Structure 1
Amino acid sequence: MIDFSKFVEFHGLKKWAALLVMFSVLFLPSQVFAEAGVEPRRIVLGSHQPLSGPMKTYSQVGRGALIYFQYLNDQGGIHGRQLVLLQRDDRFQPQRTLEVVEKLVMKDRVFALFSGIGTDTSESAMPLLKSQGVPHFFIGSNARRFTEPARHGIFGLLPTAEVEARVLGAFVGSNHPGEKVILWYRDEPEYKLASKEISQKLQGNPLQFLPSKKGSTQFQAEWDAIRVGNPRAVIALGPYAPLIKFLRTADITGPPIFTGNALADSSLIRNLDSRIIDRLRVLTSFPMLLETDHPGIRLHQALLREYAPDMRGSRWTVYGHAVAELMAEVLNRSGRELTREVAIRSAENLKTWNGKLMPPVHLNPSQHLSMTFLKVSRIMPTQVQHLSDWIDGR
């Protein structure tokens, strides 16, 4: 019978240890040493979405992204890996967000968070992501807190109120030189900051400020003040709910009304009198479903027919498809040797890239906001008229 202890002693423990290390490097599966969420044939992403509850409509963003990832997977994936998106329901509640993100990170071991929806929801998970070194690519929020200043591994998607203000100010200043402008804005911190950006852009214009107190519903009185002010253009900045109520009380005739990206939706005709829409100029980013000849919209509709025949397209499915294009571009540029740090650097090196649905994207180590290029457009019952080319709001 062989005495194994003497065998080891004879050949030397150090020699066996060295051979064991060499064997591990040469023959053990590569995933033993890979980044979390990166496997030989899969990349696993995670997302928190309101899959139920009053904000469930936003879950169409995740569905749109899944459809595009399915399409890519059928083309062979990214560098031979299939894209897997684990979506978890947070009901748009920050405490639940933290719970589901903890499971995604600690149990499911996702590579990164992708396109989580909401400001307070996404913010609730930031300490956990930082402690675990997990990036969050392209948060579904327009809050400046995620990108000003830039945080390592954290990338925003939607334009902030300040970005929108710079674009609107540049366009109105060029197209209404020297003319009086009235700026209506919701009296909240982000829109106060945005009003300063408007003021900077319209130094050559007589500019009247009309702040609307948070919670106020005195929209008719505000329009009376605008009428008395007799402007040649009106700029309106605010969250969707008070903004749409303000616009519903507008006169059907009057100067053009310029507003942000919140109303850039083909279904706008169902929410506002068509005669008021006639006065409206909105900021657009993704192409809209009305733009049936747009190559990106044609692809989107084809993918819906192929992968989700039960689903109708919406601004949110387009959004999901668009942000999935952006994520795929980052992963593609990261190459086969994928790590979180490589993906972060790849995102930071996107220089005026645009996909079939995404507007131009320009990122760098100090600029982590994806959507800063916008167009000024008119939405009509059957078409979209773009009044400008891309304007950079950085």
Structure 2
Amino acid sequence: MQLLKRTLLASAFIALALPAFAQQGGPKKYGPGVTDTEIKIGQTMSYSGAAATYGTFGRVMVAYFKELNDKGGINGRKINLMSVDDGFSPPKTVEMTRKLVESDNVLFMCCSMGTGPNASVQKYLNDRKVPQVFVLSGATRFTDAKTAPWTMSFSPTYIDEGREAARYILRTKPNAKIALLYANDDSGKDTAIGFKEGLGADKVKMIVSEQTYEVTDATIDSQIRQAKASGADAFFDSTAAKFTAQAIRIAHDIGWQRLHVTTNNSSSIAQVLQPAGFDKSQGLVAGKFIKEPTDKQWDNDPRMKAWRDWMTKNYPEGLKTDWWNVYGYMVAETLANVIRTAGNDLTRENIMKIALSMNYDSPYLLPGLKIQTSPTVRSAVNKLRYYRFQGDQWMMIKE
């Protein structure tokens, strides 16, 4: 009962913070997939394949809407979240998205995983004016209002993340020799662009090793060894989770002493640091925007307590040490309130309008950060705070 009270209070708070053009009692205006009792929503998720570790995000969302439906849904309608596995494979994403849109008639696509998969269907969805909201990628192509007016993302862009990482290194190690490693794809290239912008034209020469990897590679052993051989004493590691774990482990094993900065996406204790080994992960630094579940300063935080209770009840196999599970819950809650705000105007146009008009403080974001969007600001969160891994937990760095 206490958890239910907390959830209802939080939902009421967020609903008040969303735009005031909800039409709760107005005439019914329905788009595809909407009836008096149901709203169909589509999602492609990497439950298998190279990015399967991120599938926990989708499982949290499915569990969230199941519980919400058990309590009556939203405005009397059940939310049918059709979350399907694309194996992080763009051709499979195209196939599954077409089915969701053309056969299942979903109202919109939401919270789908990955740069490549989302890019493969971006034009298709925009040509048909199907909202592609809260994309789980920081690639800037998903925040371009001119080329993709029906697309928006949730997390900080990769350019923002790269820029902030460079500034952190400059603040803490101003004479660093830097090794840079990123994926040979849109997301990696965006991060590298932002990193170089953050250094500034006069300091780009601090990069003594710049390398890429393919997401299909088995290992990045050679890249890490080359980075050490370059003489670098700082490392910006913009790799996917399994490669970040490899980078931590290999760098430690070959005795590379360096300031190691990684990205928010690859900061999971369960998916990265435990596989790498806590002893080898000490001192790792990462930019974050969500309250880290292992950070003891949040042990008595009411909303984090409520989230842990919710996990125990609704997703017991999920790890309470994995920030991706906090992220999934926060995004699901935000999406639910977009739908709630839409009231009876459940059209694709209105969903997009509301999603691009948010301005509130989520209780799951780090202090000082907000969820804030507009027709020109198309990523819900735009800033980061830096953490260092110590012992068995992430601890916020006081700068």
**TM-score of the superposition, structure 2-length normalised?**
0.76
The answer to whether 1:371 aligns with 2:371 is no
Aligned to 1:345: 353
Aligned to 1:166: 163
Aligned to 1:385: 395
Match of 1:304 among 301, 311, 320: 311
Match of 1:262 among 260, 265, 270: 265
CA gap 1:115/1:277 in 2 versus in 1, 3 angstroms: same
Deviation at 1:164, TM superposition (A): 0.9
Aligned to 1:277: 281
Deviation at 1:212, TM superposition (A): 1.8
- Worse overlay, 51-60 or 336-345: 51-60
Within 5 A, what are the aligned runs for 1:83-232?
83-148=79-144, 151-176=148-173, 178-186=174-182, 188=184, 190=186, 191-203=188-200, 207-214=206-213, 217-226=222-231, 231=233
CA gap 1:129/1:243 in 2 versus in 1, 3 angstroms: same
Q: Which has the larger radius of gyration?
A: 1
Post-superposition Cα deviations, 1:341-370, rounded to whole Å, max 9, x if no partner, equal 112111111135424368632222122223
C-alpha distance in structure 2 between counterparts of 1:362 and 1:132, whole Å:
26
C-alpha distance in structure 2 between counterparts of 1:149 and 1:209, whole Å:
36
Contact kept in structure 2, 1:240 and 1:262, CA below 8 Å? yes
**TM-score of the superposition, structure 1-length normalised?**
0.77
Deviation at 1:265, TM superposition (A): 0.9
- Give, as a single letter, the amino acid of the residue that structure 2 aligns with 1:210: S
Deviation at 1:100, TM superposition (A): 2.4
C-alpha distance in structure 2 between counterparts of 1:388 and 1:329, whole Å:
33
C-alpha distance in structure 1 between counterparts of 2:316 and 2:346, whole Å:
34
Contact kept in structure 1, 2:291 and 2:364, CA below 8 Å? no
Contact kept in structure 2, 1:67 and 1:304, CA below 8 Å? no
CA gap 1:189/1:312 in 2 versus in 1, 3 angstroms: closer
Contact kept in structure 1, 2:166 and 2:199, CA below 8 Å? yes
Post-superposition Cα deviations, 1:219-250, rounded to whole Å, max 9, x if no partner, equal 22321322xx5x5x443334444444333232
Contact kept in structure 1, 2:37 and 2:77, CA below 8 Å? yes
Within 5 A, what are the aligned runs for 1:248-259?
248-251=249-252, 254-259=257-262
Within 5 A, what are the aligned runs for 1:64-75?
64-75=60-71
Aligned to 1:19: none
Deviation at 1:310, TM superposition (A): 4.8
Contact kept in structure 1, 2:278 and 2:392, CA below 8 Å? no
User: SS where residue 373 of structure 1 aligns?
Assistant: coil
Aligned CA-pair RMSD: 3.2
Deviation at 1:85, TM superposition (A): 0.8
Deviation at 1:45, TM superposition (A): 1.0
Q: Specify which structure has the bigger relative contact order, considering alpha-carbon pairs within 8 angstroms and separated by 6 or more residues.
A: 2
- Give, as a single letter, the amino acid of the residue that structure 2 aligns with 1:304: M
User: SS where residue 355 of structure 2 aligns?
Assistant: helix
Contact kept in structure 2, 1:255 and 1:279, CA below 8 Å? no
Structure 2 gaps, min length 5: 1-26, 215-219
C-alpha distance in structure 2 between counterparts of 1:173 and 1:56, whole Å:
34
C-alpha distance in structure 2 between counterparts of 1:94 and 1:66, whole Å:
22
Post-superposition Cα deviations, 1:105-147, rounded to whole Å, max 9, x if no partner, equal 2232211111122333223333432343211111222333222
Deviation at 1:154, TM superposition (A): 0.9
Deviation at 1:255, TM superposition (A): 4.6
User: SS where residue 247 of structure 2 aligns?
Assistant: helix
How many positions carry a matched residue from both structures? Answer: 354
Contact kept in structure 1, 2:237 and 2:261, CA below 8 Å? yes
Post-superposition Cα deviations, 1:184-235, rounded to whole Å, max 9, x if no partner, equal 2337465455444334433486723311254661422321322xx5x5x443
- Give, as a single letter, the amino acid of the residue that structure 1 aligns with 2:44: H
CA gap 1:221/1:300 in 2 versus in 1, 3 angstroms: same
User: SS where residue 209 of structure 2 aligns?
Assistant: strand
CA gap 1:79/1:306 in 2 versus in 1, 3 angstroms: same
Q: Where has structure 1 moved over 6 Å in runs of 4 or more?
A: none
Post-superposition Cα deviations, 1:15-49, rounded to whole Å, max 9, x if no partner, equal xxxxxxxxxxxxxxx77x62222222332211122
What percent identity do the matched residue pairs reach?
A: 23
- Give, as a single letter, the amino acid of the residue that structure 1 aligns with 2:285: R
Contact kept in structure 1, 2:262 and 2:284, CA below 8 Å? yes
Aligned to 1:332: 340
Contact kept in structure 2, 1:259 and 1:280, CA below 8 Å? yes
Aligned to 1:46: 42
